[in-house]
Structure 1
Amino acid sequence: MDLRALKTFEACVRLGHFLKAAEELQYAPSTVTLQIQRLEADLGVSLFVRDGKRVIVTEAGRWLHHEAAVLLKSIEAMRQTVSDIASGDNGSVRFAAIEPVASQQLATVVADFYKTRPKVELTMEVGGSRSIAERVRAGELDFGVCSAPPSKLMLEFEPLIEERLGIMLHTNHPLADRDSISASDLAGHTILVKEPTCIYRELWETAICESGQYLFSCMEVGSFFVIQQMVKAELGIGIVPIYSGLEQEGSIVIRPITDLNPVITIGIAYKDKNLLGKAALWLMEAIRGIREPNTLQNSTGPEGKKTGT
């Protein structure tokens, strides 16, 4: 059945007159008549009974009108959804980010994005850099916010920010009054570190190995939040990225490590921008808003074009 003929038929029944249907659809009256005749011939039934200038809908016509109205509404909804997906106002986005970037920088960005595009089905996961990069490569994620992925994964990577590790201390700790701390100051203390697969743990171990100082004991903790709570309970000192949001007024402070200054670059990893939906591209563009000023060189916009200077 021709959808245009069904639309014409629905208008004829709803308006009760072929001429009114022609006016609404901006068709010639003869076109309306021809479409109804073809529809009847296609179905092999009479949809209207002609009574002079009046037309009366048959039983078959009444049933078809109900079904046609439902179908046409569904088609209109499909058209609108496809249009919204093309503009980035609908669709789905699945991405992941590492902590504490996810909570400290991206949570508000994602919240603002969702408020402006509530129809987008958005999934934000939190994981480790390695697993995020591998899942982006496998197509399980549209993109990830993580450290630079291994070259063997053949992913694109846009740097966003540089993160530095610091020392998280309770305000009662004797080192808390110092503006900065050196590696040698950690001797004799219990150090709270993330699991071995965490990029911040790797960064810490690389930095401390190069310094050759191991005069402390380590406790492995799988969550920055738990590290924060342990420090708050005055159990050890934590190795964490320097975020003011991780500090707690009156109980926890974070100080830089002067002689190590371990730094890691965090950015957006994706496989092929041409395969991403418009909503994903717009979310990536919103996330670029956290970019540090000195990384604006050679950034890319939502259409994949170069921006900046």
Structure 2
Amino acid sequence: MELRQLETFLTIVKEGSFAKAAEKLEYAQSTITVHVQQLEAELGVKLFARQGKQMQLTEAGKVLWEQAAVLRQRAVALQQTMREIITGEAGQIRLGAIEPTASLRLAPLLITFSRTFPKLRLALEVGNAALVNPRVQAGELDFAISSPPEAQTGLTFEPLFFEDLRVLLPAHHSLVNKEPLEATDLKGQRILLTDRGCGYRAVIEKALLSLGINPFSGIEMGSIEILKHAVQGELGIALLPDIAVTPPPSQTVVRKLQGVDLRVPVGLVSPPEECHLGRPQQELLAFLRTHLQK
């Protein structure tokens, strides 16, 4: 069933004859007849019956008349949606992101982007790298803003910026006034870690273990916000992204750690064939590259 056939059928009923419908639609009358014949053949019923010089709807025709306007409206809406998807004005984007990028960097950008493309449906999933990167690999997310994926995933990684990690200390901790604060000063300290699979934790473990410092205290938490509260409560110290502790939470002090590289690359994690992404996804990728790349 084609939209033009429905349009022809509705016009015949509205105008009262094949001839008037042909005039209204600027078709040859033979074209009107063909459209009706095609529609009747597809549905397997007669839609019109001649009574004298007039064409009357059959029972099947009356049923189609009741539904045809709705079908046409839905078809027109679908065509419009398809055009908007092609132009990047509509569609669905499934995006993953790690914290604090999701809350502090990405959220304001998504608000701006959504105002520019109000018809786009956007789903943001927040989790650590071990959660969002495999979901990109599985096709459940279009792409993610995350720390680098594992090599065996086959995903591509495009660095956008670095998250610099800082030491968050309770306000009265013995290391608050230590100058300079060296990585070796963390020996014997209770270091509160994020959960396994977090890109920040991986960098912390690699850096400290290389210096002979054991970062494992037996306490790990899956939320940066909870870690900040734990430091406020003097449970221990934490190494957290600078953006997440600027300004420092009350009753805490932020220090830069000397003698160790604690930078975490964050960027676009996407399927190897980015060209397979639709126009809406490509629009958002370009927008994020422009506003996040440093």
Is this a same-fold pair by TM over 0.5?
A: yes
**Unpaired stretches in structure 1, ≥5 consecutive residues:** 294-309
Match of 2:269 in 1: 269
CA contact (8 A) 1:179 1:255 kept: no
- CA distance in structure 1 between the partners assigned to 2:182 and 2:197 by the alignment: 25
Q: 1:205 corresponds to which residue?
A: 205
CA–CA separation in structure 2 for the residues paired with 1:231 and 1:18: 81
In the TM superposition, residue 171 of structure 1 has moved relative to its aligned partner by 4.3
- SS of 1:261 mapped into structure 2: coil
Q: How many residues are paired up?
A: 292
Q: CA deviation at 1:37?
A: 5.6
Alignment of 1:115-126 (within 5 A): 115-126=115-126
Residues 180, 17 of structure 1: alpha-carbon distance in 2 compared, 3 angstrom cutoff:
farther
Distance 1:243 1:104 in 2: 8
- Report what 2:221 is aligned to: 221
Query: How does 1:121-136 map onto structure 2 within 5 Å?
Result: 121-136=121-136
Alpha carbons 1:194, 1:220 under 8 Å: kept: yes
Distance in structure 2 (CA, Å) of the matches to 1:214 and 1:36: 80
Deviation per CA, 1:164-218, whole angstroms, max 9, x where unpaired?
A: 2111134454655679632244456432221343221221122223333459956
State the partner residue of 1:96: 96
Q: What secondary structure is seen at the aligned counterpart in 2 of 1:243? A: helix
State the Cα distance separating 1:234 from its structure 2 match. 3.3
Query: Structure 1 residues 88 and 179, CA, compared in 2 at 3 Å: closer, same or farther?
Result: farther
Which AA in structure 2 matches 1:285? A
1:158 aligns with 2:163: no
Per the TM alignment, residue 228 of structure 1 is displaced from its structure 2 partner at its CA by 0.9
Distance of aligned partners of 1:3 and 1:100 in 2 relative to their CA distance in 1, 3 Å threshold = closer
Equivalent AA in structure 2 for residue 103 of structure 1 = S
Match of 1:147 in 2: 147
Q: Is 2:13 the counterpart of 1:13? A: yes
Is contact 1:93–1:120 with CA below 8 Å preserved after alignment?
A: yes
- Structure 1: which amino acid aligns with 2:278? G
Per mean C-alpha deviation after superposition, the further-off stretch among 269-278 and 187-196 is 187-196
Deviations 1:202-253 (A, max 9, x none): 2112222333345995632222111111122333222101115653465444
Counterpart for residue 112 of structure 2: 112
Task: Give the corresponding residue for 1:236.
Answer: 236
- C-alpha deviations, 1:120-163, integer Å up to 9, x for none? 33222122223433332222222122222233222221111112
Alignment match, 1:298: none
TM-score by length of 1: 0.79
Q: Distance in 2 between matches of 1:230 and 1:268?
A: 31
Structure 1 position 104, deviation (Å): 1.7
Change (3 A) 1:179 1:58: farther
Aligned-pair identity in percent equals 36
**Residues 292 and 37 from structure 1, CA distance in 2 versus in 1: closer, same or farther, beyond 3 angstroms?**
closer
Classify the secondary structure of the residue corresponding to 1:139. coil
One-letter amino acid of the counterpart of residue 133, structure 1: N
RMSD: 3.1
Q: Distance in 2 between matches of 1:223 and 1:60?
A: 62
Shift of 1:40: 5.5
2:282 counterpart of 1:281: yes
Distance 2:277 2:269 in 1: 12
Question: In 2, Cα distance between the equivalents of 1:138 and 1:216?
Answer: 32
Contact in 2 for aligned 1:40/1:47 (Cα 8 Å)? no
Aligned equivalent of 1:45: 46
- Separation in 2 of the partners of 1:180 and 1:51? 103
> Offset at 1:3?
4.5
8 Å contact kept, 2:224–2:240:
yes
Taking the aligned partners of 1:95 and 1:72, their CA distance within structure 2 comes to 34
Tell me which moved more, 263-272 or 67-76. Answer: 67-76
The offset of 1:87, in angstroms, is 2.4
Instruction: Select between 148-157 and 207-216 the one with higher mean Cα deviation.
Output: 207-216
Q: CA deviation at 1:41?
A: 7.0
Contact 2:90–2:120 under 8 Å retained in 1? yes
Specify whether residues 209 and 157 from structure 1 end up closer, same or farther in structure 2 by C-alpha distance, changes over 3 A only: same
Equivalent position amino acid for 1:282 in 2: E
Decide which moves more: 212-221 or 157-166: 212-221
- Deviation per CA, 1:273-309: give whole Å up to 9, x if none: 132222222222222234333xxxxxxxxxxxxxxxx
Give the secondary-structure state (helix, strand or coil) at the position aligned to 2:83.
helix
- Stretch moving more, 178-187 or 221-230: 178-187
Distance in 2 (alpha carbons) for counterparts of 1:47 and 1:216: 81
